[in-house]
Amino acid sequence: MARATRVDFPGAWYHVLNRGTERRTIFRSTRCCERFIELLSSLPERFGVRLHGYALMGNHYHLQLESREANLSKALHWLNVSYSVWFNRKYSRVGPLFQGRFKAILHEPTEALKISRYIHLNPVRMPPWADTRLATSLRTR
């Protein structure tokens, strides 16, 4: 079964998220977060997207983006590949870092504040350094 085509048009707003393969950690250190943010900060100039918000968690990230040129897939492909290559070299690993393609949830600009609130409260609900499996096992004790 073929996957659905992404809806992308100039001015579209998205809540984008992607997670590590097998929910593994994709931000192992402060330097990992800094590198991801460096790459993220070049998206507006390279691809003409507007970054309205982000949250980096231990094993996934959330972004709120506006695609001014209907090129969300190109921008996120570049971001994910660039970070994956850097991460794999840094930690001497091979293979995919991310679990499948990124998820992009289209939303209206009028919902921007609600989505931004969700993204920015996400780390409060689960600290960015916490491993989801560890946090789950601690809660069940």
CA distance 83 to 20: 12
CA distance 39 to 137: 33
Give me the pLDDT at residue 124, please: 79
CA distance 107 to 34: 28
Give me the pLDDT at residue 112, please: 94
Q: Where are the beta strands (DSSP E) in the chain?
A: 12-19, 49-56, 60-67, 103-107
pLDDT tens per residue, range 97-140 = 999 889 999 999 999 999 999 999 887 776 545 554 433 333 33
Q: Mean pLDDT for the chain?
A: 87
Q: Which domains does the chain have, with CATH numbers?
A: 12-139 (3.30.70.1290)
> Edge-to-edge strand order for the sheet containing 12-19?
49-56, 60-67, 12-19, 103-107
For residue 59, pLDDT over 80 is answered with yes
